Amino acid sequence: MILVGLTGGIGSGKSTVSALLAERGAVIIDADAITREVQLPGSPVVKELADRFGAEILAADGSLERQALANIVFTDPEALKALNAIVHPAVGREMNRRLIEQRTTDHVVILDIPLLTENPREGLQGRIVVDVPVETQIRRLVAHRGFDEADARARIARQATREERLAGADFVVDNSGTPDDLSPQIDRLWEWLTGLDQLPADYEPITPKPNGGEKQSS
Ligand code: ATP
Model confidence pLDDT, tens digit, residues 148-162: 999 999 999 999 999
Residue 12 has pLDDT above 60, yes or no: yes
CA torsion sign for 24, 32, 39, 123 is positive
89 closest CA partner among 41, 49, 42: 49
Protein residues whose CB sits closer than 6 Å to any atom of ligand 1: 8, 10-16, 32, 114, 140, 144, 175, 177-179, 218
Cα 15 to Cα 12, 101, 173, distances in angstroms? 9, 22, 13
Predicted model pTM = 0.91
Given pLDDT bands bounded at 50, 70 and 90, which one contains residue 209?
low
- From 12, 15, 136, the mutation candidate for ligand 1 (largest count of ligand atoms within 8 A of CB) is 15
Residue 138 has pLDDT above 70, yes or no: yes
> How many angstroms separate the alpha carbon of residue 15 from the centre of ligand 1?
7
Mean model confidence pLDDT for the chain: 93
pLDDT of the residue at 218: 42
CA torsion sign for 191, 19, 200, 125 is positive
- Residue 213 phi/psi, 5-degree rounding, is 80, 30
**Using N-to-C axis directions, what is the helix angle for 14-23 and 179-194, rounded to 10°?**
60
Asked if 18 contacts 215 with a C-beta cutoff of 8 angstroms, the reply is no
Mean pLDDT across the stretch 28-34? 97
